Structure 1
């Protein structure tokens, strides 16, 4: 049962609710949960309990028995799943009575997951698309609310233009964000599939290898230096800035190249460097 409010307490006080009366939001953008990480969290919860309450909304439904009450998770599904693994009968929650609209619930759920950086690129792209198409947010509005650049939002959404097997590989981590962006640039399906197979086979690793092979297959002639050891850094910077990042190591030192879409993206890069 929920804990009673003490005199003077606000409506955002912590309640204790039966675990089996809580359910995940079916519109929650996150779909993948690492089983090993959940087991580790469950072990911690058995020892120390849940340190951060779940954020939920209350749903009331009429039934033959009267009024049934359930709680829908807005933020904290991973904690709830771990609590179930730990066989906790109750979990601490904060009930948000005002969040009855899907728009508010999805927005808070998305922001919570993005701040934790737990969404994979495809989950992220689908969540952005829901905000855009179902709830009327422009790419600029999404960017402002999440502290991202507009091109970063737009480029994330474009990932959904990949074939389903490539989306699944990106979701599962078999290919990375930069590789997916390059595959998107290949408009010929057969050529796109050829590069995709090479990536999965481990024949293409760094950004320069990828661009060189894509240029060769697409019939363009461009030279790229090797940057295999900078692949992860290039991917992380490209995702954050929304542009294409290339880092090469030559005889005269390391060269950093950023292809950005707008002046705003350049300002973001300068801010990162100066900070």
Structure 2
């Protein structure tokens, strides 16, 4: 029995630290799935999926030479490992066990000449990505991964184990699935930027902001502005968008082949840029309008409803008339409320009690949209929050919207 094996080995039968960390959904030990043993270090193969890192800095484990390992190494059997990883048979050699957590402990055992090491064998972790989850939990807890390596691990869980972003976050006890999503976005950056993130020359938050730019050329341009001009990321992104709009205006002017000699080149470019910006704002507004229609047709969570309505009650009154008009259009299209009433005031008066909260929520969303469309004002944090809400509902942000959000400090 496991307890007898533990007693004879002279170490505690208690569940090791890495398994307590791994009590995420799908990794809880099943009855009869745990086994304790003592094995030779050469019977343990390193998990070939474990991110490469230096194992020569083992001074903190020097006491194993005298006292042995206090904590067992977490392993699974070769057979279990190969069930989901048949292509890695050559990588693990003939070893009967594969390490899931404890690569440094094994390296220390080899360095300091231990004949045997305690292992904790889990037979239940080969399915549904459980072995990968445990390995990643240990690396995250030890801060052994740079942000790009972390992103690659999430990508592997998604692609090889079929886990969705929300499932990855849940099983790793990450508070928000957006953390996983943002890490994955880093893998779309140009190689040079990924290397800068991995070397901690480019902060993760700044890199995530750059990843929202339309393509690698713009991302590199913004990074150059940040590096050479020491610009904050929001200012660099806004400057990239501004230069692109001016370039588009100049190209439009050249295609038309017209020139007013009374216009200076700068005035001409500014005029064309303003025209391009107006067109971009109109196109962006049309896209947001469709997203708002979709949002009006859905029932939001109680938390979102409370937050949006409270925000509207405090700050939204100045756009109430436009908000009611927009909300009325969206709700009628969604078939919510007394859809036969074409007058917004009459519509609101006839709303059934069951729909009142949702209608209020849609009016609050419409107030934010009306406010965002006002050309007399600059965007602020409230506009950025409205844009993020629409993104969550499926809206694809335009370059112009990302530029305005960057100017507002919401890159």
TM-score tier after normalising by the smaller chain length: 0.5 to 0.7
Q: 1:52 aligns with which of 66, 71, 91?
A: 71
Max radius of gyration: which structure?
2
If the length of structure 1 is used for normalisation, what is the TM-score?
0.64
- 1:40 equivalent in alignment to 2:59: yes
Cα distance in structure 2, aligned partners of 1:44 and 1:183:
45
Greater share of residues in strand: 1
Cα distance in structure 2, aligned partners of 1:100 and 1:188:
38
SS in 1 for 2:129: helix
In the other structure, the counterpart of 2:167 is 141
Query: Pairwise mapping of residues 136-175 of structure 1 onto structure 2 (< 5 A)?
Result: 136-148=162-174, 149-175=176-202
In the other structure, the counterpart of 2:90 is none
Residues 208-252 of structure 1 deviation map (CA, whole Å, 9 limit, x = unaligned): 7222122222218xxxxxxxxxxxxxxxxxxxxxxxxxxxxxxxx
Query: Pairwise mapping of residues 103-114 of structure 1 onto structure 2 (< 5 A)?
Result: 103-114=129-140
Structure 1 outlier segments of 4+, above 6 Å:
6-11, 257-260
SS in 2 for 1:94: strand
SS in 2 for 1:5: helix
Greater share of residues in helix: 2
Q: 1:187 aligns with which of 203, 211, 214?
A: 214
CA RMSD of aligned residues (A): 3.5
- 1:17 equivalent in alignment to 2:36: no
In the other structure, the counterpart of 2:152 is 126
Cα distance in structure 2, aligned partners of 1:210 and 1:184:
11
Cα distance in structure 1, aligned partners of 2:240 and 2:74:
50
Cα distance in structure 2, aligned partners of 1:6 and 1:151:
42
In the other structure, the counterpart of 2:309 is none
TM-superposed CA distance for 1:193, in Å, is 1.7
Residues 150-179 of structure 1 deviation map (CA, whole Å, 9 limit, x = unaligned): 111111111111112222222232222112
Cα distance in structure 2, aligned partners of 1:186 and 1:52:
46
- 1:31 equivalent in alignment to 2:52: yes
TM-superposed CA distance for 1:21, in Å, is 1.6
In the other structure, the counterpart of 1:248 is none
Gaps of 5+ in 2: 14-31, 83-93, 244-380, 390-411
In the other structure, the counterpart of 1:247 is none
If the length of structure 2 is used for normalisation, what is the TM-score?
0.45
The count of residues paired between Structure 1 and Structure 2 equals 213
CA contact (8 A) 1:33 1:78 kept: no
CA contact (8 A) 1:174 1:200 kept: no
